[in-house]
Chain A
């Protein structure tokens, strides 16, 4: 029979045989595709995480500086001494504030992009959100140092607007103030928000994109004013996106050690403490214990979010 007229054409060659086999047994293909990344994830990533956890249960000998490989909780106890606990508290408060502020700023932008932007404006939105991600993180942070510096453009703008008194009043506030924005917590806060903003906007936008427009109309139809519609319909349905975004901003802030080093007061954040402990101080167990803190906090955060029903709309 001629190949052109046959109903069931024969596949010849090794490749043909192979693709037929995959078609008949799709699980083999899935297995082949998933094995390398799962090995990577399992061995390299989870393995090193486990090694890190293990380190945190060792301690360091104060005299010799050598690691004592006996199982102990001493290192964790060290986290609770005031100077270390301050670092944890400072980082968590900063991460929480950055997350809240990012969500508040990102929501209207994401809402606009999801509900109103069409065609050209949608492209502009994506470019505007993604473009900062294309340039180096260090370049952005140093650029912000210049913007926020005492001789920087922000001080200049405040002066031109005759608002220098406002800036000075802000900087004279305890804790959040400082001699200039670039060496205050306020500066650290601003730069964190700027750098993580895309990670908050995009998940919220994706969540809002999936909210059918007629649910908003239905709420209005049933008598819900815009504030009620936001509270009872839009916000609950966007919550998985907000939680996803907050996981990024929260965990990235918890772990970052570059921004607070370049912009802010000289007081340490967790990331800097880890960097210092495993480097100059050579205290690997304490560095490991510090690294466990963000993991535990994120675990608690996700558990609470789940309990509050944040993922019910998924």
Chain B
């Protein structure tokens, strides 16, 4: 069943087209990511699902029911806010029990459910504290528990990991993923971090300027970007100019080529070109080497086991023809 359906949905703020004719169908139980830079319309899409914004055009359905004109408090959808939005005057337990309280669930029952939800996000016994006494990561878990305790049909997450440090973020990514699997709730996740979207989502919608540039599985979006924007934004792919692509014998198109698809030296069945090393940076597991070839700047990932060529050296690079993807249009 379709959990969330967008048909030609627009949300304009005066002359600004925050969301522009978006079509979208999110399946029940799916982990769906909306990826894009700030101002691309992904958060507005999330707010349209939550009911904080009303579309200026188009049609939205949530589990087959028309969502336009339905206020947030009558939607079986819950949000984990970017800065958590915990109520500062309530204890952690009261925060988590809030949704049940306003629905009229009895005190003993709702506090028990809140306690269980806190245990689920690994914060048992934190109920008596205030939001101000918790760390960012803990607050994030409380926000998650507060949303999940209501057993929503769809959980919306607005950059929930943005404020956490790297270690915590990686840990939370795994936990969110396993939580989503065990609960079977549809997750809609907004992020500007392509790594996060690729590692967690079943499907990704890449947003730019209020429109969906590409919608597909992480592999599709990563390996076969449809537009230059997607190639550039997802995994910092090399976008090769038409001249260069033509010189390699692929016809006159823009094309994308992943840095890790390029190796130093030649091999059987590989396309090769030569260039001059202009910069290199050590990244740990690999080094990123930038090469200038035929006027194009191309980045290659060189494994740490391979010696990094010196700056200014001329090197031969090669790739498998199937790794190069030509793109329609100049965009």
Give the segment of A46-54, A64-72, A231-239 that binds chain B.
Answer: A231-239
User: Shortest CB–CB separation between residue A232 and chain B, in angstroms?
Assistant: 7
Instruction: Evaluate contact between B99 and A222: CB separation under 8 angstroms.
Output: yes
Instruction: Evaluate contact between B98 and A222: CB separation under 8 angstroms.
Output: yes
For the complex, give the distance between the alpha carbons of A219 and B77 in Å. Answer: 12
Which of A215, A220, A221, A225 has the most chain B CB atoms closer than 10 A to its own CB?
Answer: A221
> Which chain A residue shows the least CB distance to B47?
A217
For the complex, give the distance between the alpha carbons of A223 and B86 in Å. Answer: 15
Asked whether A2 is an interface residue with its Cβ less than 8 Å from the other chain, the reply is: no
Instruction: Evaluate contact between A222 and B52: CB separation under 8 angstroms.
Output: no
- Taking a contact as CB atoms closer than 8 A, the residue among A212, A214, A223, A313 that contacts B99 in the complex is A223
Q: Using a Cβ–Cβ cut-off of 8 Å, how many residues does chain B contribute to the interface with A? A: 24
For the complex, give the distance between the alpha carbons of A219 and B86 in Å. Answer: 10
Instruction: Evaluate contact between B50 and A221: CB separation under 8 angstroms.
Output: yes
List residues of chain A with CB within 8 A of the CB of B98. 219, 222, 224, 232
Instruction: Evaluate contact between A313 and B81: CB separation under 8 angstroms.
Output: no
Instruction: Evaluate contact between A223 and B85: CB separation under 8 angstroms.
Output: no
Instruction: Evaluate contact between A221 and B102: CB separation under 8 angstroms.
Output: no
Instruction: Evaluate contact between A217 and B102: CB separation under 8 angstroms.
Output: no
For the complex, give the distance between the alpha carbons of A215 and B83 in Å. Answer: 10
Instruction: Evaluate contact between A236 and B85: CB separation under 8 angstroms.
Output: no
For the complex, give the distance between the alpha carbons of A233 and B94 in Å. Answer: 12
List residues of chain A with CB within 8 A of the CB of B102. 219, 222-225, 228, 232
Instruction: Evaluate contact between A224 and B89: CB separation under 8 angstroms.
Output: no
List residues of chain B with CB within 8 A of the CB of A232. 98, 101-102
User: Shortest CB–CB separation between residue B99 and chain A, in angstroms?
Assistant: 4
Q: Using a Cβ–Cβ cut-off of 8 Å, how many residues does chain A contribute to the interface with B? A: 19
With contact pairs A222-B146, A224-B102 given, residues A217 and B89 touching in the complex (Cβ less than 8 Å): no
Which of B52, B72, B86, B147 has the most chain A CB atoms closer than 10 A to its own CB?
Answer: B72
A-B CB pair tally, cutoff 8 Å: 65
Asked whether B78 is an interface residue with its Cβ less than 8 Å from the other chain, the reply is: yes
For the complex, give the distance between the alpha carbons of A217 and B80 in Å. Answer: 11
List residues of chain B with CB within 8 A of the CB of A236. 89
For the complex, give the distance between the alpha carbons of A219 and B21 in Å. Answer: 29
With contact pairs A221-B78, A225-B102 given, residues A214 and B87 touching in the complex (Cβ less than 8 Å): no
Instruction: Evaluate contact between A221 and B89: CB separation under 8 angstroms.
Output: no
Instruction: Evaluate contact between A214 and B73: CB separation under 8 angstroms.
Output: no
Instruction: Evaluate contact between B88 and A222: CB separation under 8 angstroms.
Output: no
List residues of chain B with CB within 8 A of the CB of A225. 71, 73, 102
Instruction: Evaluate contact between B88 and A218: CB separation under 8 angstroms.
Output: no
Instruction: Evaluate contact between A223 and B87: CB separation under 8 angstroms.
Output: no
Q: What 1/0 mask marks residues of chain B from 34 to 77 whose CB sits below 8 Å from any chain A CB?
A: 00000000000000001110000000000000000001110001
For the complex, give the distance between the alpha carbons of A87 and B77 in Å. Answer: 57
> Which chain A residue shows the least CB distance to B98?
A222
Instruction: Evaluate contact between A218 and B81: CB separation under 8 angstroms.
Output: yes
User: Shortest CB–CB separation between residue B227 and chain A, in angstroms?
Assistant: 33
With contact pairs A217-B52, A217-B72 given, residues A233 and B150 touching in the complex (Cβ less than 8 Å): no
Asked whether B103 is an interface residue with its Cβ less than 8 Å from the other chain, the reply is: yes
User: Shortest CB–CB separation between residue A223 and chain B, in angstroms?
Assistant: 5
- Taking a contact as CB atoms closer than 8 A, the residue among B50, B52, B88, B150 that contacts A223 in the complex is B150
Instruction: Evaluate contact between A217 and B73: CB separation under 8 angstroms.
Output: no
Asked whether A312 is an interface residue with its Cβ less than 8 Å from the other chain, the reply is: yes
Q: What 1/0 mask marks residues of chain A from 94 to 128 whose CB sits below 8 Å from any chain B CB?
A: 00000000000000000000000000000000000
List residues of chain B with CB within 8 A of the CB of A237. 88-89
For the complex, give the distance between the alpha carbons of A220 and B79 in Å. Answer: 10
Instruction: Evaluate contact between B89 and A223: CB separation under 8 angstroms.
Output: no
Which of A214, A220, A223, A228 has the most chain B CB atoms closer than 10 A to its own CB?
Answer: A223
User: Shortest CB–CB separation between residue A1 and chain B, in angstroms?
Assistant: 41
- Taking a contact as CB atoms closer than 8 A, the residue among A221, A228, A313 that contacts B88 in the complex is A313
User: Shortest CB–CB separation between residue B115 and chain A, in angstroms?
Assistant: 17
For the complex, give the distance between the alpha carbons of A313 and B88 in Å. Answer: 7
For the complex, give the distance between the alpha carbons of A173 and B128 in Å. Answer: 52
Q: A219-B98, A228-B102 are in contact. List 20 more A-B contacts (CB 8 A).
A: A217-B50, A217-B81, A218-B79, A218-B86, A218-B87, A220-B71, A221-B50, A221-B51, A221-B73, A221-B77, A221-B78, A222-B98, A222-B102, A222-B146, A222-B150, A223-B99, A225-B102, A232-B98, A237-B89, A313-B88
Shortest beta-carbon contacts, A-B, top 9? A222-B99, A218-B85, A220-B72, A214-B85, A224-B102, A313-B89, A221-B79, A228-B102, A220-B73
In the complex, 14 of the A-B residue pairs with CB atoms within 8 angstroms, ordered by the A residue number, are A214-B85, A215-B87, A218-B79, A218-B85, A218-B87, A219-B102, A220-B51, A221-B51, A221-B77, A221-B147, A222-B73, A222-B99, A224-B73, A313-B89
